Structure 1
Amino acid sequence: MPAHAPDGDFYVSPVYLAGSTVSGDPALQPLLGQGFHLHHDELSNVYVASPEQHIRIGYLPEGEDCILWKIAVHSDPFKPPRWLATFDNNTPTELVTAFTTALAHDYAQGHETYLYGATGRNRGFQPLVDAGWRTSEGPHLSVSVAPDGLAEINHVQGALDDQAELSGYQSRWSTSGGCNGYSARWHATFSTRTPSHLIAATAAALADPTPVPRYEAEIPKRNLTAARVTPVPPPVPTPLDVRRATAARARSAGHRALVCTPAVATASSGPNSARPSHAARGRSR
């Protein structure tokens, strides 16, 4: 389980059943850390680009389709993208973050593997093969399927129309997961020239058995019966927390003692001392 404080009420595994956190921050942060520029439109769609405009990312919660993420890489910023990756609005955030982290790492190295990296299918599948997914390679379609059958990656062989790929109508690679049904199933695509090491980074996150934190409302209801869901345990108090709690209890106990301590009895106290006697009243006149 993650060592840091979790952001959620439950831990969910496998990740492909966890649902999206519907937050762009984790996946955008690796790129913003490399000096990418960020702006947004009046609809709260967010756009991030590298300083020289070779890498462009759109986080589109108010987009016209179900695509939440569009990642385009250009060899020439004034021409169509060399490759395109998309993730829909149900895709677990950790998968997008794995992809953008690998992309940001390439950019930070100062070379162009994010543009011209190898595109062979074997490297993209390798993390799933290592994790024991059922993988089959055919002349037209190669597929790797999770042990429970609820997630897979596909690679299409043969010629594809470049314009159709970059328009989102075809894709060389596709990955999906979740139980059938609205909001439970998710889908992501990668066009032909997407470097296979970036796809492998996504595949490694897809096969990672580590539980991920989610709030209850973020977990697709159709996935609950198939996923492993456990409550997030309360945080273990630090020594400073213990000292503060002990001091607070001590202050509270002292306050209660002051409030509850009776007045000190005087020598004239007794059952008849509540009001003065007739003789005393007479003497006082």
Structure 2
Amino acid sequence: MSHQPDPRHDIDGDVYVSPRYLASTTGTGDPALAPLLALGWDLQHDEDGNVYVSAPDRRVRLGYLPEGEDDGLWRINAYKDPFGPPTWGVCFNDRFPTEFVAAFTTALATTYEQGPDTHLASPVVGIDEHEPFLAVVPLLQQGWEMARPRRGVFAVNAPDGLAGMEFTTGDLDPEAELTTRDARWQLWAGKSIDRPAWYATASTDTPVPLLTAVTQSVSDPAPLPRWRQDTYSYIKGMAQLTPILPPEPPAPTPLDVQRTAAARRPAALPAPSVPRRSTTSRPALPGPRR
């Protein structure tokens, strides 16, 4: 299947950004909220413009926080007990590409419909120690490579080194996983993980299918459309920007061809309004005298 974009479609942007993980955010949260709102989840907002979405049973909650206390624009937590601590949580910062958030919320909507045994199912390492790493498979299939080994960290990097994903082993502080970047999973893009262009974190018990939905979207070879004037400066030195072609005109119908031919046909000369004299006509006779 070809991943080349179709220029005939109505595209919100004037350039394609490739690789797509350098595209940054679109600046709107609607596409990522749509899968959950379509299920009838409750939508609330505060006077600062922050948006809060909750599942009907209050066991999954999303915050879209443009006026939050830090750069964590998206925070999504799940609860076995609606009044207890989160079972798992993810955070996407304010430059994380919106399409990747939408991939996560779309998968979340699907797993929520399947029941709590799916969207609250944490990886069971004791049964299959490789289960958590299934989220990395889409990246490896698109040419991402194992990073240099570091103690307690498993990592893969994009071929150009401008994106990566890390899995930290050992015991972690559950509260720190939800409030800092010291989480089990970290996905990033930019020149280094220490100063990333964007990042995402996921805590220990985040279901693997949700993580996999994000890595599939991140590793998709198709570029993402963006407006050139909204492109962050860090992208211009690393990403490839390709102008989006204008839409192709539709093929003419037989009726269009006939109309065009009729328009090009020369118009007939109008008939003279005054009859011409004949050179052979006789002169007029004089009238009778009185």
| TM-score, normalisation: structure 1 | 0.80
Q: Runs in 1 of length 4+ with deviation above 4 angstroms?
A: 136-139, 264-267
**Residue in structure 1 matched with residue 244 of structure 2 by the alignment:** 232
What 5-or-longer segments of structure 1 have no aligned partner?
Answer: 254-263, 268-285
In 1, Cα distance between equivalents of 2:234 and 2:180? 27
On the 8 A contact 1:165/1:191 being kept in 2, the answer is yes
Aligned residue-pair number:
257
Q: Quick one: which of 43, 47, 50 aligns to 1:42?
A: 47
1:155 is paired with a residue whose SS is strand
Tell me the amino acid that sits aligned with residue 80 of structure 1.
Answer: P
Superimposed CA distance per residue, residues 193-231 of structure 1 (whole angstroms, 9 cap, x where no aligned partner): 111221111111111110111011332222113212111
- 1:1-285 pair list within 5 angstroms: 1-3=4-6, 4-118=9-123, 120-136=131-147, 140-168=152-180, 170-179=182-191, 185-238=197-250
What 5-or-longer segments of structure 2 have no aligned partner?
Answer: 125-130, 264-270, 275-290
On the 8 A contact 1:40/1:46 being kept in 2, the answer is yes
Superimposed CA distance per residue, residues 163-189 of structure 1 (whole angstroms, 9 cap, x where no aligned partner): 2222335201101102469x9711110
In 1, Cα distance between equivalents of 2:229 and 2:28? 14
In 2, Cα distance between equivalents of 1:30 and 1:82? 22
Tell me the amino acid that sits aligned with residue 145 of structure 2.
Answer: R
- Aligned-residue CA RMSD (Å): 2.9
Superimposed CA distance per residue, residues 248-269 of structure 1 (whole angstroms, 9 cap, x where no aligned partner): x99xx9xxxxxxxxxx9987xx
Q: 1:82 to 1:133 in 2, by over 3 A?
A: same
In 2, Cα distance between equivalents of 1:52 and 1:238? 49
In 2, Cα distance between equivalents of 1:35 and 1:84? 21
On the 8 A contact 1:28/1:100 being kept in 2, the answer is yes
Matched-pair identity in %: 43
| TM-score, normalisation: structure 2 | 0.79
2:28 is paired with a residue whose SS is coil
Which protein is richer in helix relative to its size?
A: 1
